Chain A
Amino acid sequence: QSRAVTGTVTDQETGGGLPGVAVIVKGTTVGTTTGVNGEYSINVPAGSNTLVFRFIGYNDVERTIGAGNTVNVALSTNAEQLSEVVVTALGVSREERSIGYSSQTVSGEELSNVRETNIVNSLSGKIAGVQVGTNSGAMGGSAKVTMRGVSSISGNNNALFVVDGVPIENSNSNSTNQQRGAGGYDYGSAIQDINPNDIAEVTVLKGAAATSLYGSRGANGVIVITTKKGNSKGGIGVTYSLGLTMDKVYKLPNYQNKYGGGYGFTKIYKNENPEAFPEGRDGAYNDNDGLGSYDLIPDYDVDESWGPAFEGQLYRPYWSWDQELGNPNFGELARWEARPDNIRDFFETGITLTNSIALDGANDKGSFRLSYSNLDQDFILPNSSLVRHNVSLNGAYNLSEKLTVSASANYVTHEAVGRPGTGYDGSNVLQQFTQWGQRQMDMDRAKNYMLPDGTQLTWNRTAWDNPTPKYSNNPYWVRYKNFQNDSRDRLFGNITASYKLTDYLSAEVRSTVDMYTETQEERIAPGSQEISDYTLYNIDFMENNLQGLVNFNKDLSEAFSLNAFVGANRMTRTRDVFSGSTVDGLSSEVYNLGASIGRPSIIDSKTEKQINSVFASASLGYQDILYLDLSARNDWSSTLPVDNNSYFYPAASVSYLFADLIGASWLNLAKVRAAIAQVGNDTDPYNTILTYQLNQPFGADSRVSVPNTLPNANLKPEISTEYEFGTEWRAFNDRVGLNATYYHRRTTNQIIPLSLSASTGYTFRYINAGEIENKGVELNLYGTPVQTNDFSWNINFNWAKNENKIVKLTDDQQTMVITNAPFAVQLQAREGESFGSIVGYDFKYDDQGRRIVLENGWYARSDEQKVIGSVLPDFNGGVTNTFRYKGLSLSALIDFQKGGDFFSTTQMFGRYSGMLEETAAGNIREEGVIAPGVMEDGSPNTTAVDAETYFYVNGGYRMHAMDVLDASYIYLREASLGYTLPESLTGKTPFNNVRLAFIGRNLWLIDSNSEHVDPSNITNSITNVQGIEGGALPSVRSYGFTLTLGL
């Protein structure tokens, strides 16, 4: 005989009703959540007499149900508490103890404490097994999130983000050249549109069993974001927060400061070129050899630094010519000396200002939360800025006792100007700061990047009497003339109607939308080194999901309870791209396709995809100790051949709680769990039928070509199978906890554009092939070593190790080429290796493992290219220490990675060009370098090679293995010092919550094996193309504060 219990849950501090609180009948899976004003009603099975109230950020409360049928509860906040109620697939709240797979939760406060403009960056080190790869992400660059390794060879392996049930599109529009480090802008990934201040909590679902209900898109893990909802406090609550952070360049390469640019001085005699001298001035030097006086000219046209030693010689700088073009500095001399800080001086102090305001309220009919946030960033590069506005509205209304309608709408708009160029390209100023350049470059002078008539003035001019840029534009010209800009307007949200059919049966219909329009514009001004250019890129994206769900929640007997649902979903997605580039330059300095001298090159692409799905899930509980979950889903995808377009994936998990069996009073939780699941996947549109490719016509002759990728009309869906085991322990009143998982995933039948020998006529073909295995361990350890009334110390430690192996590619082929780096090495997937082999020429070694040196002092090179590095790390993790004393808290996150390699183009060219410190170490420029190694006969090498030749022939350009670097690091990633004003102070003000925090990010690269590049800062894009550093941006260190005021 069950009985209905009702009540209201309130916030102990404010007295306002708390919506969304989990109310669970202890020892069962029976539960509900409170409504908008904190009210709930629940059917309590006979024999049960305790209710558990759980809510993120609050202490749990257990209440025995007395004689009455009303239980009202006030919850007190506990920011540190690790939630026991978790959000699972499709937004279903479940008691953590009952789930049979791994999940981990982070509160919004933890994420937004040290504010990043991209929420993804904040996840680094906070969750076991979540690997975040970034570049200087502070201005909305890419952040790649992978969990449990790389399971797909050709996909991007990024986790799916779901905000309040809306899958958020997170694809990447970066060019393939950008991905492989060959240049281009990083437009980041679209997930950065989420406002960190709106997030109530983030739950990370890692394994297939946890995510299979999301369909194939969840195959790489799902990050479920729940936004803040309206909160009743008897009136309208107002929260305001202000954040101010300053960005400074942190890790730059180490430069030499002994030798200047070019290879040597040239003399220009006044007698021969009187026009090169100002009136009344003789040359600075005179050898009294009858030739007269002269000035010294360095090699402006050489973009290397193998030139004369810095001895303060008087010389003619590049800015002392062009009298005929009105240069006021004509004829001036300067001292030949190093500018040790010139690169650092180029960068500015970035400032990011964030203002957020939220209004919320609720009554017994409904609730709302309205927030507005504004981010205004000036980045560290000249002429770089990002402005973003977020408006978010969440509301719910009870139309009747049975029918509730809720909606959420988010509007995001941003405008960026001057994103940093990336990779090996002129748009990336780092190319001319490290890979090439001259060490005497004076940044103050460089600011003058134009002569009075508009001609560019660059250090790398063609000759003293020709200012045309040779290889490099002036870096300020790059930033102020050749900049890009982009904007995106995005709307996402959902409308949900739920209806209670009976006390155990409810139905819900939800429609979600995610749509945006994005515009990117790139330009190269007339007068640049390159041919002038304008590129316009427009994307229109729209995804709709329509989902229906019927929920069943009832206890079947005294011992058994059942929570089940069945549902269906229809997903439609369209993506239209319109892009145009000018051809052969611009006819005027106007950035418009109409200014194209040639016929502009156009991309006009429309893609459409639909997936229909049905799914069901059942969760069966037996008393307090055993839970069984079963779920199944079937998808029909439009992208697969009609005969193969249906795929089914089941999942099962079980969790067993045995703390009571042990009976130790200090043990709060002991749990083992196991899960097994299968996930299917489809492919992109249009991979099954051959169509021709349009080319630019040749005069009157139209041209088409056969695409280089062979489609396949017999594609089948791909399948991953994963099992996992885990255990969770909590003891000593939750002072110590452990959560450990072992998983094993095997992905077969992958849909891959397999690279082919071009002699087949194609360079890729779509096939079902391959078998990839990922297995690993995730560990989360937490504890509170010290806890007194006023003081506490918390530790949270995350660690994950993944072993990836490509078990098989195809019968014919054991290797697939992922990409070519711009100069040396390839990224490949190789049978028997882990994903992402860096392949290139290696040293030759003798039988003792010593490098063999040829007679001429050069290293001997392997005959064939081989695997010389692997991009995946061995393990990574993070540890957060938090100290609190009364209202004061101090927190620091150290994250780390062991292993993983990358190829450094920066180091390769920085040595080749004589820019980096080691190229001028000791007297090597005078005495040469002896390569460490042995001759064929085993005797030590004693042949010196002149330094310039040494860094050329023994560097990565010829000897690829030389510039394969270890990506291990230990980083003090975040620190914050916060203070919450006590109520005794705020009581006298209108504010009820005042908090001030000082924060810092990327504070200290404690250890790394990479001399010149921050190894945690080399991600080009979120795609699978990783481990190729084509011209890394410097990492950025941020400091600042946030102030939060609650009204």
Chain B
Amino acid sequence: CTEDFEEMNVSPNQPANATSAQLMATAQYNFADNIGDEWNNGRMGMYYAQYWSSTQYTDESRYQIREGVNQTMWNTFYADVLRELVAAQEIEMENQVTGYQNRIAIAEIMKVLTYHNLTDIYGGPIPYSESINDEIATPAYDSGEEVYMGLLSTLEEQIAILDPAQPGYLEGDLIYGGAGSVEKWRKFANSLRLRIALRMIDANPTAATEAIAKSLNPANGGLISSNAESALFRWIPGAPNNNPLAEAFKTRIDFSVSEPFVEYLQKYNDPRLAVYADPLQGTNNYVGEIYGLAPSDKRLSNGDPKVVSLPSNYLIGETAPTVILDYAEVEFMLAEIAARGIAGVTGTAQEHYLEGIEASFEAAGLSDAAYTAYVARVPYVAPNLETALDAIGSQKWIAMYGQGIQAWLERLRLDFEDPYTGEEIFVAPAAGSVDPAVALVPFRMSYPVTEAQLNEANYGAAVQAIGGTNSLAARQWWDVK
């Protein structure tokens, strides 16, 4: 009597079928959480971009990483974002309901976004062409440059596929969803291509310039051109769907706004400081936390709002969005393209520089008057490319407040300083780095330890390719200047 065994062994607890929309929603949710939460954004990106300092337990701001957290970041990108996107594509492919080509392309663009984060966070080589394949237990690592080439060609294909006349996701697309979403995804894809191309402009200017030209060609659908078109993940009230930083601040105050950031904003009397940070309790003063103190240092605030400025609800409110790619960044990218003299961009570097700041002010809810007064203090200066990049880089940094991971990577690439005084903006941890190989800031995150064991041979080759050790100090392949 074993006839009913087959039926008995089917789980009654979980659905046997899923929709592409359900999986897309999960992929976007997990992606936003992974780049926006207290661990990868708070204790990595926001420290490495020096937006935030730690209030008491300073390990991560001194580059002592938690392996378990790093493991979770890696696992989430692959197994909880990419895996869901591939499954969504498979379901679309099988059902072929109207608009499925669009939805497959949207998922593919989400994959590009995810792989781009992975390759840059982990410093180049990652499992890419052989990843997310049930048949391959130990995927090979592709070099950073190979990944970039793959991402660019994928974007080109997907941009060509996207057809605004056909529907995109009617449900489950939490970033753009609904009417007009296909057009917005196309603009997003073009903007993402700019980000990828510019990231490697010093290492492979030919391919970068080619890709930039395609994004700038209006025939390909255009770029994100207003704050309304920014790619945001909009959290909703209440756990578990509220902003993950808001969730973290419900029980502990581990983060304060860092001193270098506060001081730079104060230096040019930037009104965004009052949007980004809270004043000391009961005052109108803003004080940043010294970056990277020893835990015993009496100067540590321990999150006391009377002695340090804490992040405001602009970033840590329950419904504060996690920014994936916004309009201000696009304008700063255009400014950089113009400053580099790359053909195809309309408008000057200065114009885009100012539009970038304006977009940032608008997103921060500041008035035109405030913008006008401010830009008078931070004019575009460009006696040479280096100062132009200092001007663009420093303003891009301020505008990208909250996007810790991308801002850190841009810090590495642009190495910007104060464009007006030539002073350094960033500082080393006050009590020194705990990682003997890193002095100022890590160049990459180390591969999670399990890769060394579960994917040993391929991991070994990847580590060899970045200089022999899985070190936070291994320089990015595109960081050649």
Contact = CB atoms under 8 A, between A and B. Distances in A.
Interface stretch (B7-15, B37-45, B260-268, B393-401): B7-15
Nearest to B301: A301
A925 to B, nearest CB: 11
A606 B12 contact: yes
B453 interface: yes
A231 B127 CA distance: 72
Contacts of A765: 137
Kindly name the residue among A302, A692, A957 whose own CB sees the greatest number of chain B CB atoms within 10 A: A692
A865 B452 contact: yes
Given A706-B23, A758-B79, A815 B453 contact: yes
A817 B5 CA distance: 32
B345 interface: no
Contacts of A858: 436
Contacts, number: 230
A685 B9 contact: yes
Nearest to B128: A759
Nearest to B75: A758
Interface string B21-47: 111011001100000000000000000
B26 A704 contact: yes
Interface string B122-147: 00001100011110111100000000
A710 B134 contact: yes
Interface string B160-175: 0000000000011010
Interface in A796-831: 810, 812-817, 820, 822-824, 826, 828, 830
B245 to A, nearest CB: 15
Interface stretch (B81-89, B150-158, B270-278, B420-428): B81-89
A819 to B, nearest CB: 10
Interface in B327-377: none
Contact of A815 (B22, B23, B456, B469): B456
A854 B23 contact: no
B438 interface: no
B17 interface: yes
Contact of A701 (B21, B68, B77, B297): B21
A838 B136 CA distance: 27
B251 A598 contact: no
Contacts of A605: 13
A906 interface: no
Interface string A643-661: 0010000000000000000
B86 A761 contact: yes
Given A463-B304, A759-B455, A864-B470, A686 B9 contact: yes
Q: Which of B25, B131, B469 has the most CB of A within 10 A?
A: B25
Nearest to B21: A701
A826 B71 CA distance: 11
Contacts of B64: 957-958
Nearest to A822: B68
A847 interface: no
A466 to B, nearest CB: 8
Contacts of A761: 78-79, 82-83, 86, 131-134
Interface string A138-175: 00000000000000000000000000000000000000
Interface stretch (B95-103, B201-209, B236-244): B236-244
B434 A958 contact: yes
Given A302-B56, A757-B127, A706 B239 contact: no
Contacts of A707: 14
| Interface SS of chain B | loop
B131 A826 contact: no
Interface centre among B12, B23, B79, B297 (most CB of A within 10 A): B79
B250 interface: yes
Nearest to B30: A705
B43 to A, nearest CB: 14
A747 to B, nearest CB: 21
A706 B88 CA distance: 10
A820 B5 contact: no
A695 interface: yes
Contacts of B13: 604-607, 686, 691
Interface stretch (A408-416, A548-556, A634-642, A926-934): A634-642
B137 A812 contact: yes
B317 interface: no
A699 interface: yes
Given A529-B251, A701-B21, A760 B132 contact: yes
Interface string A301-320: 11010100000000000000
Contacts of A1010: none
Contacts of B136: 760
Nearest to B431: A949
Contacts of A598: 238-240
A810 B80 CA distance: 25
The main secondary structure of chain A at its interface with chain B is loop
Contact of B5 (A306, A638, A760): A638
Contact of B294 (A637, A645, A693, A948): A948
A705 B23 contact: yes
A756 B26 contact: no
Contacts of A530: 251
A813 B238 contact: no
A481 to B, nearest CB: 16
A694 B67 CA distance: 28
B322 interface: no
Contacts of B10: 686, 689
A763 interface: yes
B1 A705 contact: no
Contacts of A693: 14
Contact of B26 (A301, A703, A854, A863): A703
B139 A701 contact: no
A953 interface: yes
Contact of B22 (A703, A759, A810): A703
A1028 to B, nearest CB: 12
Interface in B395-447: 434, 436
A531 interface: yes
A183 B138 CA distance: 33
A699 B236 contact: yes
Contacts of B454: 755-757, 813, 815-817
A1004 interface: no
Nearest to A693: B14
A689 B137 contact: no
Contact of A695 (B12, B26, B86, B250): B26
B23 A820 contact: no
A813 B137 CA distance: 8
B451 interface: yes
Given A689-B9, A706-B23, A706-B87, A814 B456 contact: yes
11 contacts: A302-B56, A605-B13, A696-B240, A701-B22, A703-B26, A705-B84, A757-B450, A758-B74, A761-B86, A814-B453, A865-B449
Interface of A: 263-264, 299, 301-302, 304, 306, 462-463, 470-471, 529-531, 570, 583-584, 597-598, 601, 604-610, 612, 636-639, 642, 645, 685-686, 688-689, 691-696, 698-699, 701-708, 710, 755-763, 765, 810, 812-817, 820, 822-824, 826, 828, 830, 839, 854, 856, 858, 863-865, 948-949, 952-953, 957-958
Q: Which 8 A-B pairs have the closest CB atoms?
A: A759-B127, A815-B453, A691-B14, A761-B83, A758-B75, A584-B239, A686-B11, A638-B5
Given A636-B5, A691-B13, 16 more contacts: A301-B56, A530-B251, A584-B239, A612-B2, A636-B2, A693-B14, A695-B26, A701-B21, A703-B29, A708-B80, A757-B137, A761-B83, A761-B86, A762-B83, A813-B454, A953-B434
